[in-house]
Structure 1
Amino acid sequence: MPQTVEPVEVWTGASGAPERLVWRARRYRVDDMPTPLVGPADWWLPFAGDHAGPGRAPLEITGWRFQATSSDGETHMFDVGHDGSHWHVLRVFD
């Protein structure tokens, strides 16, 4: 399936990792260990042009990649992200 951005409901555990989701009116349970997707920390962007020292921009979790399965056995690999108020499916792999 091509890259997409569509709303999804995601429930997370105490660590912040996804455990369940509802996508296209279907319920899925995460059945593997989610992998964090990382990118430069938003708070660092104003300093991104300054090269005052060694290293690289600090990273933060920008989303998650995980496998999830519905109760009837339909399985997908999902990339999801959170925009501060809503979760979105970024990509689905069949």
Structure 2
Amino acid sequence: MFETSVRDAVALWFDSGLPARMVADRMRWRVIDVPTPLTREPEWLPPEITHAPAHFVGWRFTARNEVDGVASVFDVHRDDAGRWHVAHRYD
């Protein structure tokens, strides 16, 4: 599996609250699986806290390119300004 890390902004469309389509690097992608929410726990917590609250950071999904049919797995994160970015792409 090949992994690339990308930080370009993308356009993401949702259907029933889940990612359904994306435009990244001027290419159209259609989500072909059930997206998985990505969460992150705080970096440091007191040892007394055993079940840290995790906050939502983005989605992981498989999408197919609408031009040549190539499928990739994407980790898409939202930045502080609310813009979506491809954090990782697995080919």
Match of 2:65 among 64, 70, 73: 70
TM-score by length of 2: 0.80
- Report the CA distance between 1:60 and its aligned residue: 2.1
The number of equivalent residue pairs is 87
CA RMSD of aligned residues (A): 2.0
Q: Based on CA coordinates, which of the two structures has the bigger radius of gyration?
A: 1
Distance in 2 between the 1:40 and 1:49 partners?
Answer: 9
Aligned to 1:32: 33
Q: Which runs of 5+ in 1 are unaligned?
A: none
Aligned to 2:10: 8
TM-score by length of 1: 0.77
* 8 A contact 2:63–2:71 mirrored in 1: yes
Q: Which runs of 5+ in 2 are unaligned?
A: none
Name the % identity: 33
Distance in 2 between the 1:54 and 1:68 partners?
Answer: 37
